Structure 1
């Protein structure tokens, strides 16, 4: 007799594990089905060359919800996060450099070398972003109102709108600017130095196949300041042992709560009976039945490949085709014989423990995007390098290092029908050569490299178009409209079908928020208050 679970979760990425934990903690029987031989999705640590280990895809910590860390007791399970001494280091074309972070006064002193105006403007800029970020941070662990649910929609919208309503007119203007303007337009209103604008503007293109001139890119800039490390807002850090340390601690929490986790169990199809999701069929033919089917994979993968077309309304299928994916991301890990020696600051220092940004101006970022639109890849790509082995000696042999290279802009699909299988080595060479121009000798120090093109990211992690966000973070794909208006709040178009991944509110990054919120919605589905307000 086939066992019936209260919930079957497709995908053991971090949000799937978070959702599973909260459901199991509430007494539900839960089974997680993971395609790969390890849980964690894109937040995993692998040895990619003998003696060298690193975070494979996700590579840095900030957005992980403190509530999730506390509830799952991740610190007690061994998770330790080390804060960066400074946030970012940007070499400049004139041989100089800019450091961002380390406190307001220190950053102001750094900015003053470029512009007194910008140094003076910095406190106001931080205050504006912090005010808006606090309001939106508060919404991260709240389910957005699901349009079309009558009184329930109105009550939810009114409750969540109170934070915005309390803002002053000037602050409400900042909200409008951040949601609608380009990063350049927004930053131009605050700063005059191109280096300073680049230091902040980089966040607007992280996982965003767009130019800093693209309307709406200012919001992506804001999305990356939501987080905190060890209670410090806006900070970034490294998980000792790599990002896999997070998801392995989550796995331990799930198993302690009674979650069944099955590895190497790829789902072929969601089973639908009379308009209701009732379970899944694995590629091997076995069926796993559940009162709720919860998808941790992206909306495009779910609706294009795991649900039969005849089980979805034609209008909904059209919406799915219009859902935008493709983050323009190319990920590499490299084993190094020594630390990079940057021409502007060659000796070892705190800059090696920061995010090293090769993108000196917004114009540089814009050209990278234009190149990628025309040819598939930037001639001078945007590169963020992190060298976690400077703070974590478990990742590389003594005296040697590993570096994460997070690179933009690389089109999800190459023009002229070319495949990334044929272009991945060319792109990897281009990235290494780009770093070499800023850090002479870097190329010779590379012992080995692990390459993930957009196609590799799709095949390995199920990220459609290589999209690390599971879908663009544009205004039409946020909050109640993520992934679709009327199918927000973690609900699919079929009864019993839920979503708990980054394709739902509040979006991408290793946050745990979608998993947390989805579990709450599943548990509250039959509450009297919800039934009454939905019926009204």
Structure 2
């Protein structure tokens, strides 16, 4: 067969752009086909409220996992700003009149805040817990842009640190439910909850689940840069995708938007519908990279008349509690405020509290109660939520007039709302129900109703945008709204896993020889990282007979 391109990439998310840039640098001809009118996938900015000059990071919002090496090698002009405050959590035991403030650069104030909520004994344990986690994350972080180690190799790398705590840390984070070490080492219900949230975001997991999905989620939240810091992208997420698109085009990639792929054959033929006239076209590639979820890829292969699941492909579909296929379990609400709301805690200013991650109704017991409510088929009340205020770190996403007025954005991320809870609701009802749950949760800890400080657009509508799991499915093509394309994997292979092909060694295998995964469904996927794109590109380069590192 004479191929039109060396590589055709299905989907134009940030990972697809990373892959295209690396492959273009290696001399490959690359075509990206993106169904939407812009590339970037979930890493985009948008004017969410008509007539209001504010560019919000519509889906993704913070950056931790994007390696400096990718930024440097692709020549990306990106600024990522640190947050001075790690988190603030109102204490429900005092009705929010006190709270836990964790400052990144003020150990004394942080310790005093622990004491103020009656958790003085947990302050030192909290610091020690973070130090223990870094024994693992600092050892594994450098491996994420290399071929996958085996479990034994990854463990040996952690033990090679020489830290006497290494074996215990490995066991606590990799071999046993993460809930055990959190509960054993911290007495405060609030402190336990602050730690546990990193294990739950985007999953429908519990602290002690046997499948350890919560452990994998926890690891990816802490592994970024080796120390787990989360930064704000200056200019919003659109700046990240914009730079990646420039890099891909600079290296010669052909990027087509409004081009929906409808079928893929294992030998490299891709059918797609392009433009307003919806004319079906076909293109061929020696390699196909899939930036879409595995379930979506299976549908595309089946639409071409082929078996979507070759015998070489992994294990049965993982399920959430209750037998539901792995589904998203979150809601995201974007708000534009006239000013930051007042707190019940007079010892902390709103500017400090909202500068980091603002935890709402996320104590250990509240998280489990919310999960139990969801398991029984109810929207949790109060809904556990986390808030991020982009504009306290980066006001550039607002117009000069909005900045001068004191306006701010808030992004609220609600947990434990699995997709199946929306069964029987139309999209409008689902958004309204979850918006109400989020606003009620905010009101439970603030000194004034949040609605009193929400701006209105020129038509008089409140500046509220809600994205449910259904929206992520319909708009971004994430089945059941799962932001991880189905689930997270360990950043290593099991010792007996096959490693014969470059695709297997780089964690991008689909079971089809010529189709590789390059999105969040790669073994090292999830969040805005570029791992999937980089590693798929390296697998192609290696398979074609070139040293994968030769393009550095």
Work out whether the TM-score is over 0.5. yes
Q: Partner residue of 1:149? A: none
Query: Which of 268, 281, 288 is matched with 1:277 structurally?
Result: 268
Structure 1 position 297 matched with structure 2 position 312? no
Query: Structure 1 pair 416/271, CA: closer, same or farther in 2 (3 Å)?
Result: closer
Structure 2 residue ranges without an equivalent (≥5):
320-324, 456-462
Query: Structure 1 pair 205/158, CA: closer, same or farther in 2 (3 Å)?
Result: closer
Q: Partner residue of 1:6? A: 6
Contact in 1 for aligned 2:313/2:510 (Cα 8 Å): no
Query: Structure 1 pair 415/422, CA: closer, same or farther in 2 (3 Å)?
Result: closer
Structural RMSD (CA): 2.7
* Alpha-carbon offset, residue 158 of structure 1: 6.8
* Alpha-carbon offset, residue 435 of structure 1: 0.5
* Whole-Å separation in 2 of the counterparts to 1:4 and 1:58: 34
Structure 1 position 430 matched with structure 2 position 437? yes
- 1:49-448 counterparts in 2 under 5 A? 49=49, 50-75=52-77, 79-93=78-92, 94=94, 95-103=97-105, 105-106=107-108, 107-113=110-116, 114-144=118-148, 160=154, 162-166=156-160, 170-215=165-210, 216=212, 217-228=214-225, 233-272=227-266, 276-282=267-273, 284-308=279-303, 310-313=306-309, 315=311, 319=315, 321-322=317-318, 324-345=325-346, 347-396=349-398, 397-398=402-403, 399-414=406-421, 417-439=424-446, 440-447=448-455, 448=463
Contact in 2 for aligned 1:39/1:251 (Cα 8 Å): yes
The alignment partner of 2:84 has SS state of: coil
* Alpha-carbon offset, residue 212 of structure 1: 2.9
* Alpha-carbon offset, residue 45 of structure 1: 0.3
The alignment partner of 1:300 has SS state of: helix
The alignment partner of 2:536 has SS state of: helix
The alignment partner of 1:89 has SS state of: strand
* Alpha-carbon offset, residue 294 of structure 1: 0.1
- 1:10-29 counterparts in 2 under 5 A? 10-29=10-29
- 1:455-466 counterparts in 2 under 5 A? 455-466=470-481
Q: Partner residue of 2:48? A: 48
* Alpha-carbon offset, residue 325 of structure 1: 2.7
Contact in 2 for aligned 1:277/1:494 (Cα 8 Å): no
The alignment partner of 2:391 has SS state of: helix
* Alpha-carbon offset, residue 314 of structure 1: 6.5
Deviations 1:42-94 (CA, angstroms, capped at 9, x unpaired): 0000001122221011011111111111112222xxx2221111111111111
Contact in 1 for aligned 2:159/2:166 (Cα 8 Å): no
Q: Partner residue of 1:449? A: 464
* Whole-Å separation in 2 of the counterparts to 1:45 and 1:158: 41
Contact in 1 for aligned 2:488/2:523 (Cα 8 Å): no
Contact in 2 for aligned 1:269/1:282 (Cα 8 Å): no
* Alpha-carbon offset, residue 270 of structure 1: 0.6
Structure 1 position 516 matched with structure 2 position 520? no
Deviations 1:332-355 (CA, angstroms, capped at 9, x unpaired): 111212212122247442222211
The alignment partner of 1:384 has SS state of: strand
TM-score of the pair, normalised by structure 1: 0.87
Query: Which of 482, 489, 498 is matched with 1:467 structurally?
Result: 482
Contact in 1 for aligned 2:144/2:531 (Cα 8 Å): yes
Deviations 1:501-523 (CA, angstroms, capped at 9, x unpaired): 11112221111111111111110
* Whole-Å separation in 2 of the counterparts to 1:381 and 1:303: 34
* Whole-Å separation in 1 of the counterparts to 2:543 and 2:69: 22
Contact in 2 for aligned 1:335/1:449 (Cα 8 Å): yes
Deviations 1:271-294 (CA, angstroms, capped at 9, x unpaired): 23xxx3344444631112111000
Structure 1 residue ranges without an equivalent (≥5):
146-155, 531-536
Deviations 1:217-268 (CA, angstroms, capped at 9, x unpaired): 234223211114xxx9332221122111101011111111111111111111
Query: Structure 1 pair 459/317, CA: closer, same or farther in 2 (3 Å)?
Result: farther
Q: Runs of at least 4 residues of structure 1 off by over 6 A?
A: 484-487
Deviates more, 1:326-335 or 1:413-422: 413-422
Corresponding residue pairs, total: 507
* Whole-Å separation in 2 of the counterparts to 1:497 and 1:419: 36
Deviates more, 1:422-431 or 1:168-177: 168-177
* Alpha-carbon offset, residue 142 of structure 1: 2.2
Deviations 1:402-443 (CA, angstroms, capped at 9, x unpaired): 211111111112376444543221111111111112122312
Contact in 2 for aligned 1:271/1:281 (Cα 8 Å): no
Contact in 1 for aligned 2:261/2:270 (Cα 8 Å): no
The alignment partner of 1:98 has SS state of: strand
Contact in 1 for aligned 2:328/2:482 (Cα 8 Å): yes
Contact in 2 for aligned 1:279/1:291 (Cα 8 Å): no
Q: Partner residue of 2:460? A: none
* Whole-Å separation in 2 of the counterparts to 1:123 and 1:422: 43
Deviates more, 1:204-213 or 1:400-409: 204-213
* Whole-Å separation in 2 of the counterparts to 1:127 and 1:372: 34
* Alpha-carbon offset, residue 165 of structure 1: 4.8
